[in-house]
Amino acid sequence: MKASLIALACLALAAPPLPAAGGPDLPAFFPDLPGWSRDGGVEQFAPGNLYEHIDGAAENFLACGFELLAVQNYVNEKKQALTAEIYFHGTPENAFAIYGSERPLAGAYLALGSEGYHEEGVLNFISDAYYVKLNAFDLGAQGDEALQALAAAIAARINGRNVLPAELAFFPAAGRIAHSERYVPGNFLGHEFLGAAFIVDYERDGRKFRLFLMSPVDPAAVLRRWTALDKGFAGEIKPGALRLSDPYNGPVRLVWQRGFLCGSIGEGKEIDAALDELVASLP
């Protein structure tokens, strides 16, 4: 009897943490796929054991608000394999953050979910607060067709609100580098007090630069801490425009307007013009 209790205790310690009560039923999003059968049951991972599935990449997912992962493998009669991973990140912004950190600038993009892309043997997309990653193994030309069928079925089951974050629409179009949009959920530019920011890369007249947008709870408090890093700053912290020299990122131009902090990194008339366009588009 004592041995049985010890064995049960060991199994309990070894078991992965269960998803939080009230969380999404990720296994319900996996469809049956014609010509394929499920290869085993659904595996689930929580923040505490995510590293067991993606050791080396878990830290990036956790930084983007990861909450739960479900994995389902599929196999066909030729013993070829598909793997579907559905990551739940709590909010559409967090899902976009991890997706944006992994997607390529140049790729075959798809009108799937909020956005998706595929490469040989790979199809990734986001839908609402979910990041879906699909992989095909040794399928050759058939792989793309199978991945797209599986992706469409999963997207239909998620049935999410498939739009990119609304803040991205504020950024100007001229010179915008396609698919460079990103969301950093914390520690923007390496400063813990800056919190989250949307970022877009640009190229105008041969100059590359970056614009960003934040909506902090207290812009004045953020600016006080930021300007304290610039030993030569002698300006006044109030709504409007100011420039500072960030010791880690160089020249930064900032505009505080209607609860938003937006800015640019670098100096030049092209950069200033682009930032002025971003400010003009704010609601």
Residue 217 has pLDDT above 80, yes or no: yes
Chain centroid, CA 95 distance in Å: 4
Taking the C-alpha atoms of residue 280 and residue 95, their distance in angstroms, rounded to an integer, is: 28
Percent above pLDDT 70 for the chain: 92
pLDDT (tens digit per residue) in 98-132: 999 999 988 899 999 999 999 889 999 999 999 99
Can 15-158 and 166-281 be said to share one CATH topology? Answer: yes
Burial class (CB in 10 A: 0-12, 13-18, 19+), 265: middle
pLDDT at 93 over 90: yes
Does residue 83 surpass a pLDDT of 90? yes
Tens digits of per-residue pLDDT, 8-42? 333 333 333 344 445 799 999 999 999 999 999 99
Report strand pairing: 115-119 vs 122-127.
Answer: antiparallel
The pTM of the full predicted model, rounded to 2 decimals, is: 0.88
Options 3.40.1000.20, 3.40.309.10, 3.40.630.10, 1.50.40.10; CATH for 166-281 is 3.40.1000.20
Comparing 4-18, 83-97, 161-175, 252-266, which segment has the lowest mean pLDDT? 4-18
CATH node for 15-158: 3.40.1000
**Residue 22, pLDDT score:** 55
DSSP character at residue 67: -
Spans of all domains in the chain: 15-158, 166-281
Res 139: pLDDT: 83
